């Protein structure tokens, strides 16, 4: 199973575009083809992102569905310590979660905030991950 940590940009994109590639990742989570990993700090960030003024118009139902999937399917891990890789401090929590989870991928739609791979974790967007799954013959991609 592919181990991932999802950046908030993926969650927001899945809510905005329920038929897009980011939303497709949630179908794959439900079908247990990819496994999301979270820390408490990452879960807090997921909840906080929809409080931003420019996102308050989004469907509360879609937000609840996406967050519910992550809470039910997400494997909670504990960060081993602080990292300073990204210039955006909140994004360092994503890197920390990836290290703790031994994640294959950090999935983001904002690659400029994730300047490089770290250890065995690669940085991809949703389309790239779906392409990797097709190329490797993973079902459901």
| The CA-based dihedral angle spanning residues 96, 102, 104, 105, taken in that order and rounded to the nearest 10 degrees | -10
pLDDT for the residue 90: 83
What are the pLDDT digits (tens) for 88-101? 788 899 999 999 99
pLDDT digits (tens, 9 = 90+) for 28-73: 999 999 999 999 999 999 989 999 999 999 999 999 999 999 989 9
CB 108 within 8 A of CB 10: yes
pTM, whole model, 2 decimals? 0.92
Q: Taken in order 51, 128, 90, 72, is the CA torsion positive or negative?
A: positive
| Domains annotated on the chain, with CATH | 2-135 (3.40.50.1010)
Cα distance between residue 134 and residue 111, in whole Å: 22
Q: What angle, rounded to 10 degrees, do the helices at 126-135 and 21-30 form?
A: 50
pLDDT tens string 4-34: 999 999 999 999 999 999 999 999 999 999 9
């Amino acid at each position: 199973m592919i181990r991932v940590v999802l950046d908030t940009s993926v969650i927001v994109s899945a809510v905005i575009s329920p038929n897009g590639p980011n939303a497709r990742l949630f179908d794959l989570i439900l079908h247990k083809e990819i496994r999301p990993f979270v820390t408490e700090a990452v879960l807090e960030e997921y909840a906080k992102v929809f409080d931003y003024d420019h996102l308050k118009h989004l469907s509360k139902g879609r937000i609840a569905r996406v967050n519910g999937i992550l809470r039910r399917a997400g494997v909670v891990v504990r960060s081993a310590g602080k990292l300073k890789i990204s210039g955006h401090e909140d994004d360092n929590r994503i890197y920390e979660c990836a290290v703790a989870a031994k994640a294959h991928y950090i999935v983001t739609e904002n690659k400029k905030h994730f300047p490089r791979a770290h250890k065995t974790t690669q940085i991809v967007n949703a389309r790239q991950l779906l392409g990797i799954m097709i190329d490797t013959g993973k079902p459901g991609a």
